[in-house]
C-alpha cells in the first residue's frame, strides 16, 4: 500500500503541473477524487483475483506449455486497471517522465508480448500459435483443408473422391503388396478383404493417396486407378496387350495426336484405350473384332473407363474409337475410301489380313503386330515371302521387364542396420559403451550414407508376354 501511495502522489503531482488552466485543473481533480473512492475496494478485488489466478496457474501445470501461455495471456488481459493507471492514460505522453514511460512499456510488454514480435501470428479458436509468415500461411491452408471436420481441395485442379470413380486399394506388409484390388465407388457398398471391411461412404470425400483403416485396424492405401492399372485389373475376355508391349507398339507406329489408326483384334479393349489416348480428340481409331463376345467386352471396358475419367477430371474422355464386329480379311468394304497413318494387329494369323490392310496404309507407315509365340512369327515371315507384299520387316523384339526390390537393411528388432567403421586400432570401448542402448535414450536416425541397402530381383516376375514385329510399307 505504501508503494501504491507513492505512485499516487507522483501521478497527482504530474497531473497538477500538466494543467494549463484552472478549469482543466478542476476537471482533473474531480476525476481524481471520484476514482479515489473505490480505491480500496479495487485493490481488494484485484488481490482476490490474483489469488484466483495463482490457483488457476497451478492447475494449468497439467496443460501443455502453449496452452499455459495462452491462458496466462487471457488472465492478464482480464485484470482491471487501477485508478492511477486510468489517470495516467488520460495524461499526454509529453508530460510523463522517462521513468513512468519505461514502467508503462514494461507493463504493456508483460500483458501482450506479441506486440513486440511482428512475425508472430495468433489465431483464435482451436489453432495453435505459429511464428513467421510462411508458417502462418500453412496454418491457414491447413485450417481451410480440414475446417469443421470436412476435407477440401487445397491444390489447383485437385478433386476429392466421388461415387463412380475407379480406385485401387492396397495393403502392404514388410514392403510387399499382400492385397490389391480395383473397385468402383458405389453408395452403400463395402470393400471386403481378409484384413477387414471399409464402407465406400467413408472413402467418398477423401483425398486420393490416403491410408484408411479397416474395422480390424489394418491400413489400406487408396489411390485413383491409372490407365495402366485399369488395363491390368479390368474384366477380360481374351488376353490383353500388356502396357509394356503397348508402349513399344506406340513407339514403333509413331502415333501422334490427330492420327487415324486401324486396329484389328479388339480383344478386351486394352490396345484400343492406349490408342485412344495417343491420337487425342482430333484423331480416330477404327477397332475391328471378329468375335461378338470379345467385341461386347471391349466396348464395355472402353465406356467404363470414359465414365470414370469424366468423374475424375470433370471433362469427357475423347469418344474417338469406333468398334466394329466383322472379319477384316473379308470385309474390305469397311476400309473403302479410308487411309491410315499406322496399323496395329493382334491376330493369330496376321499374314491373312495384310493383303486387305496394306492398300489403305500410308506409304512408309508402320504396321505393328502382336504375336504370342515364336511359331506365329515364323508363319508371318513365311506368309510375307510367299505373298511378296511390299513390306519390310525391320525388327522382331521381345520386351522383358525385371522388377527389383531395393530397401534398407533392417535388424530383427526393426531398427536400421548401420555400416561399421574401419577399425584402425583406436580405442572404441567408450563409443561401444555409449551406444549399447543402456542409457535409455530414444533411438536416433542414422546419418545419410550410413545405412546399407539390399537389392535383389523381385521373387514374382512377369515372364514372356509377346513378340513384337515391325513392318514398314514400301513403294515399288
Long-range contacts, stretch 85-89, CB < 8 angstroms, 24+ apart: 86/35, 87/11, 87/15, 87/28, 87/31, 87/32, 87/35, 88/11
* Positions of the chain with pLDDT under 50: 1, 3, 16, 19-25, 31, 35, 37-61, 77-78, 112-148, 431-440
pLDDT of residue 148: 45
CA-closest candidate to residue 343, choices 222, 467, 225, 469: 469
Secondary structure (3-state) at 420: coil
- Paired sense of beta strands 190-193 and 391-398, if any: unpaired
Residue 339: per-residue pLDDT: 95
Cβ neighbours around 8 below 10 Å, total: 18
* Domains of the chain and CATH, by start: 165-225 (3.10.330.20), 230-398 (3.40.50.150)
Residue 307: name the closest of 158, 159, 163 by CA: 163
Q: What is the pLDDT of residues 279-317, one digit of tens each?
A: 999 999 999 999 999 999 999 999 999 999 999 998 999
Contacts of 395 by beta carbon, 8 Å cutoff, 6+ apart = 252, 468, 469, 470
Question: What is the per-residue burial (b if ≥16 Cβ within 10 Å, else e) of 270-302?
Answer: bbbbbbbbbbeeebbbbbbbbbeebbebbbebb
Q: Is 266 helix (H, G, I), strand (E, B) or coil?
A: coil
Amino acid at each position: 500500500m505504501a508503494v501504491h501511495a507513492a505512485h499516487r502522489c507522483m501521478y497527482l503531482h504530474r497531473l497538477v503541473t500538466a494543467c494549463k488552466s484552472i478549469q482543466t485543473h478542476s476537471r482533473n481533480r474531480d476525476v481524481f477524487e471520484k476514482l479515489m473512492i473505490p480505491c480500496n475496494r479495487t485493490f481488494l478485488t484485484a488481490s482476490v483475483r490474483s489469488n484466483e489466478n495463482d490457483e488457476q496457474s497451478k492447475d494449468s501445470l497439467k496443460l501443455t506449455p502453449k496452452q499455459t501461455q495462452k491462458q496466462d495471456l487471457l488472465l492478464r488481459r482480464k485484470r482491471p486497471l487501477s485508478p492511477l493507471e486510468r489517470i495516467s492514460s488520460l495524461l499526454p505522453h509529453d508530460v510523463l517522465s522517462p521513468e513512468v514511460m519505461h514502467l508503462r512499456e514494461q507493463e504493456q510488454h508483460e500483458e501482450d508480448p506479441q506486440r513486440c514480435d511482428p512475425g508472430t501470428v495468433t489465431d483464435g479458436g482451436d489453432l495453435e500459435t505459429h511464428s513467421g509468415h510462411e508458417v502462418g500461411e500453412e496454418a491457414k491452408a491447413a485450417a481451410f483443408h480440414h475446417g469443421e471436420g470436412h476435407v477440401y481441395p487445397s491444390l489447383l485442379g485437385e478433386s476429392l473422391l466421388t461415387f463412380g470413380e475407379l480406385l485401387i486399394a492396397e495393403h502392404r506388409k514388410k514392403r510387399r503388396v499382400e492385397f490389391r484390388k480395383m473397385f468402383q465407388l458405389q453408395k452403400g457398398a463395402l470393400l471386403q478383404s481378409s484384413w477387414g471391411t471399409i464402407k465406400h461412404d467413408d472413402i467418398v470425400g477423401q483425398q486420393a493417396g490416403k491410408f484408411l483403416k479397416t474395422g480390424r485396424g489394418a491400413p489400406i492405401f487408396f489411390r485413383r486407378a491409372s490407365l495402366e492399372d485399369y488395363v491390368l485389373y479390368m474384366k477380360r475376355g481374351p488376353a490383353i496387350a500388356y502396357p509394356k508391349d503397348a508402349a513399344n507398339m506406340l513407339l514403333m507406329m509413331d502415333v501422334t495426336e490427330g492420327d487415324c489408326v486401324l486396329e484389328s483384334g479388339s480383344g478386351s479393349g486394352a490396345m484400343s484405350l492406349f490408342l485412344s489416348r495417343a491420337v487425342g480428340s482430333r484423331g480416330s481409331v477404327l477397332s475391328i473384332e471378329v468375335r461378338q463376345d470379345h467385341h461386347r467386352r471391349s466396348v464395355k471396358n472402353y465406356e467404363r473407363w470414359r465414365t470414370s475419367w469424366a468423374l475424375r477430371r470433370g471433362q469427357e474422355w475423347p469418344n474417338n474409337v469406333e468398334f466394329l464386329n466383322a472379319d477384316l480379311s473379308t470385309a474390305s468394304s469397311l476400309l473403302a475410301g479410308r487411309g491410315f497413318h499406322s496399323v496395329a494387329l493382334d491376330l493369330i494369323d496376321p499374314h491373312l489380313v495384310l493383303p486387305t490392310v496394306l492398300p489403305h496404309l500410308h506409304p512408309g507407315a508402320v504396321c505393328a503386330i502382336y504375336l504370342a509365340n515364336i511359331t506365329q512369327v515364323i508363319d508371318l515371315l513365311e506368309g510375307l515371302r510367299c505373298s511378296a507384299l511390299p513390306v519390310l520387316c525391320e525388327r522382331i523384339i521381345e520386351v522383358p521387364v525385371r522388377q527389383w526390390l531395393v530397401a534398407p537393411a533392417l535388424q530383427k528388432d526393426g531398427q536400421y542396420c548401420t555400416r561399421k567403421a574401419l577399425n584402425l586400432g583406436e580405442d572404441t570401448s567408450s563409443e561401444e559403451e555409449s551406444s549399447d542402448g543402456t542409457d535409455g535414450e530414444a533411438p536416433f536416425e542414422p546419418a545419410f550414407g550410413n545405412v546399407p541397402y539390399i537389392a535383389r530381383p523381385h521373387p514374382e516376375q512377369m515372364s514372356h508376354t509377346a513378340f513384337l514385329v515391325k513392318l514398314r510399307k514400301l513403294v515399288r
